[in-house]
Homo-oligomer: A and B are copies of this chain.
Amino acid sequence: MQEATYRQWDEQVTNWIDEARKNILAHFHETLDVEQKSGRRDLVTQVDKQNEQRFVAHIRAADPDARILGEEGLGDDVQDDQGRLWILDPLDGTMNFIKQRDDFAIMLSLYVDGVGQAAWLYDVMGNRLFHGAKGVGVWLNDKKMSAPKNLPLSEGLSGLSGPLVSHDVDHMQAIAATSLGMRIVGSAGIAFTKVLRGQQVCYISYLRPWDFATGKILAEELGLVVTTVDGQTPTVLSYGVVLVATKQAQKDIVAMQTA
């Protein structure tokens, strides 16, 4: 993406995110309307839905020919990645929002023909906006980010998913044991920010498009890699175990799958 084009989008999207942040904070001290989706751990609140609705309206007005893939299904029924596609998680880490009022994120990104173009990942309570574009760079708020150190798995903390660790899916327990320690934060968006900042050398979880599409653009721009756990390139419409990691840590994790 051209830097000037990114700057134009950045100005608009930053305003949309600010509106969503204000809506979240307006509901902060009230009892939320919580509904179960697939089970007792997969929840949605009126705030998730309101945010998605507003983002969808903004995107339709600003980019009428694009399609929208949103977690709460208020966008389009997207079955392929051709053309302009916005991928949205209006409130990632809904359980954390409900129970902790901390560690949740807003994620939005633009793909064209399956290739990531620009991305916005907002850590709401940390007030940290990670944003950038392919070939342009990544900023944390106003500060340009540099690539994190390319550390191996054994020299960093690993961000993992609770169910994957408990069931030892894809050698998760060996991955945890090889790393300097495992951390579980309960939000893909927040976990991605820790890898972007070099606080953790990897994050691995069962992810859906809106969980990883935004972080993937920012991670790749910073020299990190996003693959499936066996080293394949996920398409942006994939569902499965996906990792973001330093190049070294990714090699270490993939090697453990066939060892």
Interface residues of A (CB under 8 A from B): 40-41, 95-96, 99-102, 156-157, 162, 165-166, 173, 176-177, 180-186, 194, 199-200
Contact = CB atoms under 8 A, between A and B. Distances in A.
Contacts of A157: 95-96, 99-100, 186
Contacts of A184: 182-184
Contact of A100 (B41, B99, B162, B200): B200
Given A40-B180, A41-B180, A166-B177, 14 more contacts: A95-B157, A95-B180, A95-B181, A99-B157, A99-B199, A100-B194, A157-B186, A162-B176, A162-B182, A165-B165, A165-B166, A181-B186, A183-B184, A183-B185
10 contacts: A41-B180, A95-B181, A99-B157, A99-B200, A100-B199, A100-B200, A166-B173, A183-B184, A183-B186, A184-B184
Contacts of A200: 99-100
A110 B191 CA distance: 37
Contacts of A96: 157
A95 to B, nearest CB: 6
Point out which of A166, A182, A186, A200 has the most chain B C-beta atoms below 10 A from its C-beta. A166
A41 to B, nearest CB: 6
A153 to B, nearest CB: 13
A41 B158 CA distance: 13
A186 B176 CA distance: 13
Nearest to A126: B102
B162 A181 contact: yes
A99 B180 contact: yes
A184 to B, nearest CB: 4
Nearest to A201: B99
Give me the 7 closest cross-chain CB pairs, A-B, nearest first.
A100-B199, A162-B182, A184-B184, A166-B173, A183-B184, A99-B157, A183-B186
